[in-house]
Amino acid sequence: QVQLVESGGGLVQAGGSLRLSCAASGKIFSINSMGWYRQAPGKQREFVAFITSGGSTNYVDSVKERFPISRDNAGNTVYMQMNSMKREDADVYYCRFQAHAHLYWGQGTQVTVSS
């Protein structure tokens, strides 16, 4: 079974940067979109950003201009560069791939922002 493997989370100071990566452990055909979500303890998982197979992007307002999303040319790895980080960006971040009607989720990576 193909899994999504995330990396890049960790501790960062407010105003600093982190880069998240998410790669599929095997080949996933016909990926429509790749994206990032985040979830705080006791809260629902929320959308952060996505990029489509055609390169279109969309962001939640709170991260626009700060968290550019991108993907590799092979289309199997998605990145999110998190800049000018704020304390409220601290969450567990999950990547998600959508291929046809199937959704793949990563295991989550913790992002902590210190003041």
3-state secondary structure string, 47-86?
Answer: EEEEEECCCCEEECHHHCCCCCEEECCCCCEEEEEECCCC
pLDDT digits (tens, 9 = 90+) for 66-81: 999 999 978 789 999 9
Q: Token pair for residue 60?
A: 């939640």
Q: Tell me, what's the pLDDT at 9?
A: 96
pLDDT at 75: 77
CB 92 within 8 A of CB 106: no
The whole-number average pLDDT for the span 96-110 is 94
